[in-house]
Amino acid sequence: MAVKGASGYARLFMPGERVKEKDTFTCNHCQKVRGIKPGNNPYEGVGDLCYGCDEPVCEWCARRLAMGFKCEVFEKALERYEARERFRASL
Amino acid sequence: MALYSANNQTGGTPQPTAATFKTQTNISAATATLRRAAVYEFEFGAAAVPNATDCEIYWDMSRQTSLGTGTTSVANPLDPADAATGMVATSAFTAEPTTTANQSLWSMPANQRGSFRWQVNPGGPGELIIPATNLNGLGLRAKSSTYIGVLGCSIYYRE
């Protein structure tokens, strides 16, 4: 069963060893992938839950939120980036 | 929802590993068929005899904004009934693409004997999105201080 909050799954295969497995989440603000562990706070040490979008974010984006920056989901940043590049290409 | 796969064995000769990052496979958008794509799985490992000295290979998935010099590889639809991909898959790089600083989405040092797989549900949360902007893409790259053989990697994505 996947760890609460996980969206991905990572496996490392080494000859002669048991497969090392880890659930992962993708930061909803910048798309960094982080491994998580079971427990009350699966994001401890690798991120936090954003109360703006109710999705996990990586430690860097969690720090930005703690500094007072607002929640900005990746889709929003992507739309802005694509619009800017479309404008630049049209010049 | 069409799913595609690309790897570094279907386009050009894979380049030897070096002490600086070498992109193994890049998936990028192209003006003619501009659209977004979402990477939902990638896997990698060494594809040659291990070095006698046990060593590391450092892997990294980063955003890239140019194509560099490489060979276009074949990106196949997983369902043969699907249309050809609108993205461009490139491998066997001889000149590195431009990698956006501080835009590494995932990185990991692994033993040369290890292989790795990461996946999310296609169409579900956690996919790595490629913007619909010309030459923008995601590149899986690797470096090693000791290992100089070739590497194998596959990237699966959704359009």
Which single residue is written with the structure tokens 């040369």?
Answer: B112
Q: What is the mean pLDDT of residues B61-77?
A: 93
Residues belonging to chain B with any Cβ–Cβ distance to chain A shorter than 8 Å: 36, 45, 61, 104-106, 110-111, 113-121, 124-129, 131-134, 136
* Segment B2-24, tens digit of pLDDT: 999 999 998 888 899 999 999 99
For residue B131, the cross-strand partners are none
* Segment B120-150, tens digit of pLDDT: 999 999 999 999 999 999 999 999 999 999 9
Please name the residue of chain A whose CA is at the shortest distance from the CA of residue B127. A26
Judge whether B86 and B35 are in contact, CB under 8 Å: yes
pLDDT > 80? residue A3: no
Please tell me which of the candidates A11, A32, A81 has its beta carbon nearest to residue B105: A32
For residue B134, list chain A residues with Cβ-Cβ distance below 8 A.
85, 89
CB contact under 8 A, A9 and B120: yes
pLDDT of residue B7: 93
Q: What does R_g of chain B's alpha carbons equal in angstroms?
A: 15
d(CA B152, CA B48): 9
pTM over 0.90: yes
d(CA A19, CA B25): 25
